[in-house]
A = this chain, B = another copy of it.
Amino acid sequence: MRIGWIGTGIMGAPMAGHLLQGGHTLGVFNRSREKASGLIAGGAAWYDSPRALAEASEVVFSIVGHPRDVEAVYLGPEGVLAAARRPGVVVDMTTSQPALARRLAAAAAERGVTSLDAPVSGGDIGARKATLVIMVGGDRGAFDQVSPLLGLLGRTVAHMGPAGAGQHTKMCNQILIAGTMIGVCEALLYASRAGLDAAGVIDVVSQGAAGSWAISNLGPRMIAGDFTPGFMVEHFIKDMGIALAEAGAMGLALPGLALVHQLYLAVQAQGGGRLGTQALLRALRTLNGLPADNPGVP
């Protein structure tokens, strides 16, 4: 199939690579061309705009940074929907606003294109290993059509409902992570202050009702003072901001999410925006009069 791919960053490049390896004809566009050089060397064709790319593609995928980038890529004068000859299906995999996903779907439909929202979880490791979880909203028929392609990118591809439902599901995912993360940070800080061996505590408590992916995977990194990003603080702040705005628009108060969002803003204010989400520990440390970093001690 002739596939167009927009956004060849830390997530997009390996994802597009899986489609190339799957035997598809790949065209690419990215804001900075050098980030697409690996794919181009592997056989992908470069296009100078989303519009030009769309004119050569049957299906277009995108994974870019912010909702404003999604808007530009699809609705801008050089965007996908401005193409003279348009793809049948477009799939935005950026974590973005559910309302924008619905707006895109409507604008696409007016031009005879079906738009799906398909944000992912699993981070850059999941992108490289093709183990992403992909949450899709939009037309069921279009979903069935692109499912085999999405199957090359992740281990789970789930249709969650109409346009926007993929983004809403991703918001649920991020709300869960927010709650779990504050529990992990506070528990490890308590453990440390109480003189416990924090690694031993993780071993024990992760076996029962207190268990989570975060305590097992990020807890040990916090103890080690390793704040290298699996998923970046500034991206998580963007996601939580979307979730809070969307919840607000639905008339829904989420006090836990609001608190965690504020603490992540503190991490960013302290210069930690490009650290991993486990750096939430830094805000709780400074809040408690401790140095932000103290490798080996949570």
Contacts and interface: CB of A to CB of B under 8 A. Distances in A.
Interface stretch (A47-55, A139-147, A254-262): A254-262
Contact of A98 (B186, B194, B256): B194
B173 A205 contact: yes
B256 A189 contact: no
Contacts of A98: 194
A32 interface: no
A171 interface: yes
A227 B254 CA distance: 21
A159 to B, nearest CB: 9
Contact of A165 (B158, B196, B213): B196
A231 B208 CA distance: 13
Contact of A209 (B179, B201, B231): B231
Contacts of A259: 255-256, 259
A204 interface: yes
Given A180-B180, A288-B253, A201 B243 contact: no
B122 A194 contact: no
A176 to B, nearest CB: 4
Count of identical protomers in the assembly: 2
Interface in A190-238: 190-191, 193-197, 200-201, 203-205, 207-215, 217, 231
B256 A186 contact: yes
Interface stretch (A12-20, A23-31, A244-252): A244-252
A7 to B, nearest CB: 21
A177 B210 CA distance: 5
Given A168-B194, A194-B250, A260-B256, A209 B214 contact: yes
Given A190-B254, A203-B158, A256-B259, A179 B176 contact: no
Given A178-B183, A214-B209, A196 B161 contact: yes
A64 interface: no
Interface string A142-185: 00000000000001101011001100110111111111111111
